[in-house]
């Protein structure tokens, strides 16, 4: 797994948000642990630890039984939007993310703020610039896979809207956009939604210590849930001492993880993330007639086509499953989703045959899967060829680009590699075997 910038600092440059009264580098995490406990955070048998070549993670310090509480963040320890700042700045109609970001900017950057102890454990501006597409230069953005563009464009629009809302306040207070954008990225990648007891409005919040946890795919992490008094992290399996504790940020594909968190999960052939997908709109929609597209639009099946990992019984030993964070089942053969099946059949079948498949999920007269595969083959091969070419381009770019963008080029190359490998598996596989 490529380690997320959300949790791990990639650099310790002097050019960062932390000020001169920040904790010393060598003990900032132990100081923050003490700071968090003083504010009521419960921490049981886990601690932050540097992972060789992978940044920072949360590790167990002793065996933990399934169902045991590992961390508890009481409501009083959370950082919430500052209602006084928001009201004084007339930001009542700003987005929840903008409200929390401007509140964090106001409170964390204050010279005497004790929140600096927490902030010292966060990623730096350089970390975000290295990992977040929102901050990449054009020569990198032109290599984004097509499926990354929709969530990326939405994020750009969200940020532009939020900056427009807060820029008058920032100008009045002497805060430039670079500083606001840093806190916006912190909120974007580390926040939780807190819904308090009945009668009180919910909000986005930051939770200390729990934000040390790295992401794991569905089924590989611990259980993070809100109760009436705060957020609780519970073990979903037994842990030995020295294991990394993962949390699932959501059932996100690597395309969305890259945009919102600045990392992607590894996706080997036989043990791919169950949450990943290879989007096929770029390969399929241009080859549909206008009539077919209209037909699919009418039933809600135009777009959203994907190659998905399918389940198969895992042949790993129990110890290997545990070491690799496997779910009950692993994923191996990638296959097209139902929407793709519907779209291609709209090209190949009569109206009656197609309507029967849409309603029943099976063909009216004989299985048409082979015909669907045959129609898709040249279009998916074109996408596979594009992915292979992009890998070569990024290999050359990585040799020439500035050092601070080497990670970005590497992640893009890995994502295009995943696309080519899994498309190749589908194209080359025999469905009869």
At residue 334, the pLDDT reads: 85
Task: Pick the more confident residue, 266 or 190.
Answer: 190
Span 98-114, pLDDT tens digits: 999 999 999 998 888 88
Of 180-194, 295-309, 321-335, 386-400, give the lowest mean pLDDT range: 321-335
Alpha-carbon gap, residue 308 to 276, rounded angstroms = 7
- Is there a domain that residue 255 lies in? no
CATH of the domain at 382: 3.90.1420
Give the 3-state DSSP-derived string for the chain, with helices as H, strands as E and coil as C: CCCCCCCCCCCCCCCCCCCCCCCCHHHHHHHHHHHHHHCCCEECCEEEEEECCCEEEEEECCCECCCCEEEEEEHHHCECCCHHHHHHCCCCCCCHHHHHHHHHHHHHCCCCCCCHHHHCCCCCHHHHHHHCHHHCCHHHHCCCCHHHHHHHHHHHHHHHHHHHHHHHHHHHHCCCHHHHHHHHHHHHHHEEEECCCCCCCCEEEECCCHHHCEECCCCCCCEEEECCCEEEEECCCCECCCCECEECCCCCCHHHHHHHHCCCCCCCCCCCCCCCCEECHHHHHHHCCHHHHHHHHHCCCCCCCEEEEEEECCCCCHHHHHHHCCCCCEEEEEEECHHHHHHHHHHHCCHHHHHHHHHHCCCCCCCCHHHHHHHHHHHHHHHHHHHHHHHHHHHHHHHHCCHHHHHHHHHHHHHHHHHHHHHHHHHHCCCCC
Q: Are residues 282 and 211 in the same domain?
A: no
- Asked, for residue 53, whether it belongs to a domain, the answer is yes
Q: Do 171 and 306 reside in the same domain of the chain?
A: no
Asked whether residue 57 falls in the same domain as residue 117, the answer is: yes
pLDDT at 55: 79
Euclidean distance between CA atoms 330 and 268, whole angstroms: 11
Number of domains in the chain: 2
46-88 residue pLDDT tens:
999 988 777 789 999 999 999 999 999 999 999 999 999 899 8
| Domain end (from 215, 247, 279) | 247
Indicate whether 423 and 297 sit together in one domain: yes
pLDDT for residue 314 is more than 60: no
pLDDT tens digits along 19-30: 334 444 458 999
Distance CA 105, CA 180 (A): 7
**Strand duo 69-74 + 230-234: pairing:** antiparallel
Do 175 and 310 lie in one domain? The reply is no
Query: Are 230 and 127 found together in one domain?
Result: yes
Q: Which of 235, 238, 307 is nearest to 267 (CA)?
A: 307
Asked, for residue 4, whether it belongs to a domain, the answer is no
Q: Do residues 287 and 260 make contact, with C-beta atoms less than 8 angstroms apart?
A: no
Domain's final residue, options 214, 247, 280: 247
Do both 271 and 413 map to the same domain? Answer: yes
| Per-residue confidence (pLDDT) for residue 267, from 0 to 100 | 67
242 and 289 in a single domain? The answer is no
Asked if the structure places residue 375 within a domain, the reply is: yes
Q: What is the arithmetic mean of pLDDT over 232-253?
A: 92
Q: What is the pLDDT of residues 189-205, one digit of tens each?
A: 999 999 887 767 788 99
- pLDDT at site 324: 44
Of the residues 216, 247, 278, the one at which a domain ends: 247
Residue 144 lies in a domain: yes
Flag whether 14 is in a domain: no
Higher per-residue pLDDT: 393 or 3: 393
In terms of Cα–Cα distance, which of 281, 215, 283 is closest to 248? 215
Within a domain: residue 259?
no
Residue 238's CATH number: 3.90.1410.10
12, pLDDT greater than 50 = no
Residue 315 domain-assigned (yes or no): yes
Same domain, 376 and 414: yes
Residues 330, 401 share a domain = yes
Q: What's the mean per-residue pLDDT of the chain? A: 87
**pLDDT tens for residues 114-162?**
899 999 999 999 999 999 999 999 999 999 999 999 999 999 999 999 9
- Examine the domain organization and report whether 185 and 306 are in the same domain: no
Domain that holds residue 345: 267-428
One domain for residues 233 and 274: no
- Range of lowest pLDDT (10-19, 28-37, 177-186, 274-283): 10-19
Closest to 143 in 3D by CA, of 417, 416, 423? 416
**Is the pLDDT higher at 55 or at 272?**
55
Q: Using an 8 Å Cβ cutoff, are 345 and 368 in contact? A: yes
User: Which of 377, 347, 375, 345 minimizes the C-alpha distance to 363?
Assistant: 345
How many angstroms separate the CA atoms of 325 and 27, rounded? Answer: 30
């Amino acid at each position: 797994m490529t380690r997320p910038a959300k949790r791990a600092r990639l650099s310790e440059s002097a050019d960062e948000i932390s000020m001169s009264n920040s904790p010393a580098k060598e003990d900032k995490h132990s100081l923050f642990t003490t700071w968090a406990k003083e504010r009521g955070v419960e921490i049981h048998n886990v601690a932050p630890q540097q992972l060789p070549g992978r940044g920072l993670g949360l590790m167990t310090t002793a065996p933990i039984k399934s169902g045991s509480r590992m961390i508890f963040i009481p409501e009083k320890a959370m950082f919430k939007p500052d209602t006084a700042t928001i009201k004084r700045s007339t930001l009542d109609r700003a987005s929840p993310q903008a409200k929390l970001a401007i509140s964090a900017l106001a409170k964390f950057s204050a010279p005497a703020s004790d929140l600096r102890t927490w902030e010292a454990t966060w990623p730096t501006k350089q970390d975000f610039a290295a990992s977040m597409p929102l901050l990449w230069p054009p020569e990198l953005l032109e290599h984004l896979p097509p499926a990354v563009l929709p969530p990326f464009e939405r994020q750009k629009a969200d940020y532009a809207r939020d900056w427009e809302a807060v820029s008058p306040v920032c100008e009045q207070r002497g805060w430039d956009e670079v500083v606001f954008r840093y806190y916006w990225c912190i909120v974007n990648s580390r926040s939780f939604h807190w819904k308090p007891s009945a009668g009180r409005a919910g909000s986005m919040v930051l939770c200390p210590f729990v934000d040390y946890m790295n992401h794991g795919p569905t089924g590989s992490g611990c259980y993070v849930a809100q109760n009436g008094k705060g957020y609780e992290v519970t073990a979903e399996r037994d842990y030995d001492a020295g294991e990394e504790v993962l949390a699932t940020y959501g059932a996100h594909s690597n395309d969305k993880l890259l945009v919102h968190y600045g990392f992607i999960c590894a996706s080997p052939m036989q043990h791919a993330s169950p949450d990943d997908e290879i989007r096929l709109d770029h390969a399929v929609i241009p080859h549909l007639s206008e009539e077919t597209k209209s037909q699919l639009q009418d039933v809600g099946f135009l777009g959203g086509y994907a190659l998905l990992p399918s389940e198969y019984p895992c042949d790993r030993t129990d110890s290997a499953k545990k070491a690799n964070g496997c779910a009950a089942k692993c994923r191996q053969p990638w296959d097209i989703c139902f929407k793709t099946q519907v779209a291609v059949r709209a090209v190949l079948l009569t109206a009656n045959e197609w309507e029967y498949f849409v309603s029943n999920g099976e063909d009216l007269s004989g299985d048409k899967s082979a015909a669907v595969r045959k129609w898709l083959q040249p279009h998916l091969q074109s996408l596979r060829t594009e992915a292979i070419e992009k890998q070569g381009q990024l290999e050359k770019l990585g040799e020439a680009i500035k050092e601070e963008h080497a990670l970005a080029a590497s992640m893009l190359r890995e994502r295009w590699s995943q696309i080519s490998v899994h498309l190749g598996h589908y194209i080359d596989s025999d469905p009869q075997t």
